[in-house]
Amino acid sequence: MTSTIATPSAGTWAASARGAAIVRILFGALWGIDAALKWMPGFVHGQTLADELGGAADVQLPLEHQWLQLWNTVGLANPSFFAHAIAVVETVVAVLVIAGLFTRTALIAAALLAAGIWTGAEGMHLPWFRPGQTDLGPSVGYIFAALGLLFAGSARVWSVDALIARRRG
């Protein structure tokens, strides 16, 4: 008995590539909105960092508590510099993901940045079973979205990467 594995047709591949590209562009726009919010005066001048990085007291797990304390110390050592650095990185990620330029690197950076935000500023939304807890926070979704787009090959069409690859032959 023989079995055959169905291979997608060219039309199916093209539709899949376009769908992944649309999601990549929308994901980049989402990062762009996040970046725009980081450029607001309250954040970029470091005025809100103490509140955003101050969740360590609520977390009793020693390793996570120390991790949060580390980011609190780093961020509050020079709040304006730290805030500007985050704003710049988010802006660069947004532009690169939308344009599809250095897409693999940009999506890996997006996943790592989201992981840093989720484990740092959001404190993984610990403790998880407190009254009113309804989710793990938005950044964990960003991690999986970035990795999904990376593995979906979202830069195959409608991207600078695809244009460069076609010109190289």
pLDDT tens, 45-77?
888 888 888 777 777 788 888 988 898 899 999
Say what the pTM is: 0.87
Backbone angles phi, psi at 5, to 5 degrees: -100, 125
Task: Of 69, 140, 155, 61, give the one whose Cα is nearest residue 105.
Answer: 155
Q: How many other β-carbons are positioned within 10 Å of the β-carbon of residue 145?
A: 19
CA distance linking residue 115 with residue 130, whole number of Å = 22
In sequence order, what DSSP letters do the residues of 121-168 get, joined into one string?
TSGGG-STTSTT---S-SHHHHHHHHHHHHHTTTTSSSSHHHHHHHHH
Reply yes or no on whether the pLDDT at 79 is more than 80: yes
CA distance linking residue 112 with residue 129, whole number of Å = 26
CA 23, 27, 29, 33 torsion-angle sign: positive
Task: Of 107, 97, 108, 109, give the one whose Cα is nearest residue 160.
Answer: 97
What is residue 111's three-state secondary structure? helix
Reply yes or no on whether the pLDDT at 31 is more than 80: yes
| Average per-residue pLDDT for the chain | 89
pLDDT at 96: 98
CA distance linking residue 144 with residue 44, whole number of Å = 27
The residue with tokens 């690169």 is 96
pLDDT class of 164 with cuts at 50, 70, 90? very high
